[in-house]
Chain A
Amino acid sequence: MKRFVYINDDEASNELCCDNRISNRKYTLWNFLPKNLWEQFSRFMNQYFLLIACLQLWSLITPVNPASTWGPLIFIFAVSASKEAWDDYHRYLSDKKANEKEVWIVKQGIKKHIQAQDIQVGNIVWLRENDEVPCDLVLLGTSDPQGVCYVETAALDGETDLKTRIIPSACVGIDLELLHKMKGVIECPIPDKDIRRFDANMRLFPPFIDNDVCSLTIKNTLLQSCYLRNTEWACGVSVYTGNQTKLGMSRGIAEPKLTAMDAMIDKLTGAIFVFQIVVVMVLGIAGNVWKDTEARKQWYVQYPEEAPWYELLVIPLRFELLCSIMIPISIKVSLDLVKGLYAKFIEWDVEMIDQETGTASYAANTAISEDLGQVEYILTDKTGTLTDNKMIFRRCCIGGIFYGNENGDALKDAQLLNAITSGSTDVIRFLTVMAICNTVIPVQSKAGDIVYKAQSQDEDALVIAAAKLHMVFVGKNANLLDIRFNGLTIRYEVLEILEFTSDRKRMSVVVKDCQSGKIILLSKGADESILPYACAGQQTRTIAEAVDHYAQLGLRTLCLAWRELEEDEYQEWSVKFKEASSVLVDREWRIAEVCQRLEHDLYILGVTAIEDRLQDGVPETIETLRKAGINFWMLTGDKQNTAIQIALSCNFISPEPKGQLLLIDGKTEDDVSRSLERVLLTMRITASEPKDVAFVIDGWALEIALKHHRKDFVDLAILSRTAICCRVTPSQKAQLVEILKSCDYRTLAIGDGGNDVRMIQQADIGVGISGREGLQAARAADYSIGRFRFLKRLILVHGRYSYNRTAFLSQYSFYKSLLICFIQIFFSFISGVSGTSLFNSVSLMAYNVFYTSIPVLVSVIDKDLSEASVMQHPQILFYCQAGRRLLYL
């Protein structure tokens, strides 16, 4: 399915789709009551209470005053309805604000000021600096002569760096005046929610250029809710409006997560309901028999001879009402109340404030605190979660010479500084790659310093290090890069950027040296995706050794490479690249294939090693939580050696001989299968030994294992307490969570970056670290904390207390209602099985509310053990985890 957007043509575009009215509202004024009631009554418990309340209106069978059920029922409904209404009203207000914002658009060649909600698909929208983008636009022109503009996408993906957006090639050089009169057609996919992909084509109508199809990517778009920065003005044609924008499509009410405890309570409620039905049937039959044999003789009761048709049902229904209090109506209210308080306790906790940034913990999901106490598996990201994600360039190896090995800091290594001053070619090339092979944008601050806006922390570290080594990346002007080296300014023109993808694991730029006119390919990437493409003559052994050496120190490594291209070769390839960039289907894959054709015969310059320090308290936290019976899996996109080193240094796995690492690898199905079987066998043998056995698997093998040997892998997952999965993609992370969940384990996923979002959403509990990689993970998560070490407190203190308190409260709720119900049942045997209530309405209500429900809420501040003793004996958490299997709630 495709959508055709006609630029600046009202008639052709009108029938297409909605206007730009944003609506996040769930209800309107008219449908609020029915829709909200319908939603509330889709829960079994509510239906049950309504049925009971309705039956009570029939005075022949009701044992008590109907008000004693209607009162609480209406109260509960009113509370949740007004909560919904309040939320919805705020959504309405924020929508209204966005909808009524004034924007400049061009309609039929005239510039007009209209409200944002009146934008139509095909309108040309004008934006100024720091404006918010009102709908999804395809960029047509900017104030920049090269057609570049910068946007901040924080509201969309949480990344705070500036991203470059560029006008499509077809629009280059169009005059400002002509932009008003532009006509054309954009062929774009139907609206979806993928904010990283926009595979479309554009064709301008004459008199603008020929009818050449121009491909569009996400780089040519301005998406709704982004901000235009560092650009005087920009204009674009709206392609998706209203709720059909990328942002609008990715919205949606998240499925509410149900805790193990909730599921248990639901099950118990079901069981009690069945029990109640049995009791009602037995008593109903007994009542009818007694009535026919005994009660007829009791003259003072005056049973009529003639009975209406429903006579047989009257006594069972009376018992149904009498026993209806078996399922406590108060449990829902009290649980909602205390759960809200648990969440508040987490937010209030001063010991979980990140002192560095002053951010407190935040519980976005207030309903799942008990689950924290029942966690069995923690799946953690590495970078930014276990580590600080504060990348610092530490060492490097250039042309086989190690720098920074002595003092641990290459920036202060005299040997390297000497090499730079003496102008060693390799070293200078190396620094050049460090400085320009990236997507960093230098911004000149008012004080005159240069601040780098980088998407990845690694690139940031490299550029800063290069600057300290006198290779300063001073400015980026569209395609022109300025580098200052020892006082000289060198200018490069960027011809192409072969972007980083998690599959390719490397990125390259093709630049032209403006002075010599040479075309150069600069690449950087993971060793296994660079070294195989080294040129035939080069010995890569020293490089590989260097990579190993650095990895063992727990450093992140990148290989830098370089190749001079012939003009013809570049031109020929460039055509193919453009072609691949304009296909609509499988574009990513096609581009990767074309990139491959250029990235070969590389001259490997060397290796950089970047340090990513462990966060404070990580080893202690992991050790304590492992003692508490929680299993850890590390899922990282990083390479195996680095992952293992980090794992060792944070108590994740024990070194030999206490621990054992089993490797699952292989490139083919057979290899992986054999490897998997071997590991499984070893696992089974060592299961009885007190040994820490962990398995390590990489993304490739994981892919095969999940595809062909899912069952074996699941067995392995059940057996192993520790696993390290490296080189895994975001979707694989989510898949692993799903596997553990399918084995009925309670999982907690913790991460900090956009690549962890899917895993966080998939897991029973998602915890985000509000770290440096933006807020994306923290926003998708149920809980966000400032540091990894707070996890210990979150689980052992808050999770455990919440679990115990909820367990107590729900047990108590069932207990007290069963208690009073059994009194009623026993009384019925001495009251002629006629369904008399021993208690009157007021007493019953007082019992349910004042005597039993309100006083017991105090248990919310009860602590069974002190925090210190829980921390000292984390094993106590076993009891909470086991709660799922035993019927001890």
Chain B
Amino acid sequence: MSPTASTSTVGGGGSAEPSGVKKTSKRPKYSKFTQQELPACKPILTPSWVILTFLVAGVVFIPLGVICLFASQGVVEIVDRYDTDCVPASSRDNKVAYIQSEGDKICNRTITVTKTMKNPVYVYYQLENFYQNHRRYVKSRNDAQLKSPREERDVKTCAPEDNVGGEPIVPCGLVAWSLFNDTYRFSRNSQQLPVNKKGISWKSDRDNKFGKNVFPKNFQAGAPIGGGTLDPKKPLSEQEDLIVWMRTAALPTFRKLYGKIETDLHAGDTITVMLQNNYNTYSFNGEKKLVLSTTSWLGGRNDFLGIAYLTVGSICLFLAVTFAVLYLVKPRQLGDPSYLSWNRSAGG
């Protein structure tokens, strides 16, 4: 019964007016947009187009895959797991007690180079089952404090590694506190191989995220000592090991750059590594590995990209051939309305 809800509102008033004036203004303007006639292109997937597309994809992808695979294969990588071997046989029953005990835990490892490695040879340490991505861990840091000495006292987010005796820790938080502190020294034929530790972190991190006038304070001064210590005389922007460590890994298995050996290593060379086994991964059964690797234009050794290209390329090629055969054996007219669903089933 009601003559619409909005009778007496603006709309109602408008339509009650004599219609003569309104008519012309109500008339919509013509434009391609208002009439939904904007130019558009809609490719029709004809058999020849589909076959051609698959063919081109296959032809492009397979060589790409082969190239990627070659590049990856060209990378020489030596991995040496040392966490168990570096614990003396007598302490193997209680590795945690061993690692937490005082004293130097020096360990010598020998690595044989199987293939010539062109310089620079990158030295990585690899940790497994180490959750740098744990929420409690990633959140426990303060980027402002790392950048500027004025924010020194801003340690709210760093708990539980925030204060020592009321004084703020710089750098605060669990991430810095658990700094990796195994060290490696390399020698070939009793000749020292220098490891360059400059320039192993991101330049943007050094320049923008870690302050040049921020110095470590009260670091590792509290009761449980986590990992490595820092030189209180060097500003944070020069503490490259820390900078590398603080760029937290997304996965529980990760590699971090330790340094670069800037000489070529030849096949058959025997390299002695004198390492200090300080870092505790034993309490959570984490593995520690030392990695020496060269790089190619594609980065480190990783076959995934090559395999992915090869797989997709071969599937495309296979489909192209299948469709071509189908098209030749049993062609059908394109756009035949008798194939429409309502024409196929009688009655609809």
Contacts and interface: CB of A to CB of B under 8 A. Distances in A.
A250 interface: yes
A302 B162 CA distance: 13
Interface in B22-58: 23-24, 26-30, 33-36, 38, 40
Contact of A251 (B8, B10, B135): B8
B2 to A, nearest CB: 4
Contact of B3 (A253, A360, A776, A836): A776
Interface in A10-41: 22, 24
Interface stretch (B255-263, B289-297, B324-332, B340-348): B340-348
Given A157-B3, A861-B38, A298 B27 contact: no
Contacts of B142: none
A349 interface: yes
Contact of A832 (B27, B134, B174, B341): B134
A758 B3 CA distance: 10
Interface residues of A, number: 69
Contacts of A298: 130-131, 134, 283-284
B1 A250 contact: yes
A358 B174 contact: no
A300 B24 contact: no
Contacts of B348: 629, 875, 878
A207 interface: no
A863 B280 contact: no
B36 A830 contact: no
A863 B5 contact: no
A345 interface: yes
A193 B138 contact: no
Given A252-B2, A831-B131, A832-B133, A779 B8 contact: no
A827 B131 CA distance: 12
A67 B347 CA distance: 57
Contact of B134 (A295, A358, A861): A295
B2 A250 contact: yes
Given A90-B9, A91-B10, A94-B9, A301 B4 contact: no
Contact of A301 (B8, B35, B174): B174
A309 interface: no
A300 B15 contact: no
Given A302-B160, A357-B23, A836 B133 contact: yes
A195 B1 contact: yes
A350 B224 CA distance: 79
Contacts of A347: 28
Contacts of A827: 133, 250
A251 B28 contact: no
A145 B342 CA distance: 72
Contact of B10 (A90, A835, A863): A90
Nearest to A297: B284
Interface string A730-760: 0000000000000000000000000001100
A221 interface: no
B160 A22 contact: no
Contacts of A838: 250
A154 interface: yes
A827 B134 CA distance: 11
Contacts of A432: none
Given A304-B160, A348-B34, A359 B23 contact: yes
Contacts of A357: 23
B137 interface: yes
Contacts of A629: 348
A360 B27 contact: yes
B136 interface: yes
B199 interface: no
Contacts of B3: 155-158, 195, 247, 250, 757, 776, 779-780
Contacts of A875: 340, 342, 348
Interface string A340-368: 00001101111001000111100010000
B74 interface: no
A775 interface: yes
B166 interface: no
A22 B1 CA distance: 20
A607 B135 CA distance: 90
B84 interface: no
A251 B7 contact: yes
Given A836-B134, A861-B36, A775 B15 contact: yes
A350 B30 contact: yes
Interface of B: 1-13, 15-16, 19, 23-24, 26-30, 33-36, 38, 40, 130-131, 133-138, 160-161, 174, 177-178, 224, 226-227, 250-252, 280, 283-284, 337, 340-342, 347-348
In order of increasing CB-CB distance, the 4 nearest A-B pairs are: A250-B2, A348-B34, A300-B178, A834-B135
Interface of A: 22, 24, 63, 87, 90-91, 94, 98, 154-158, 193-195, 225, 247, 250-254, 294-295, 297-304, 318, 344-345, 347-350, 353, 357-360, 364, 629, 690, 757-758, 775-776, 779-780, 801, 827, 830-832, 834-836, 838, 861-863, 873, 875, 878
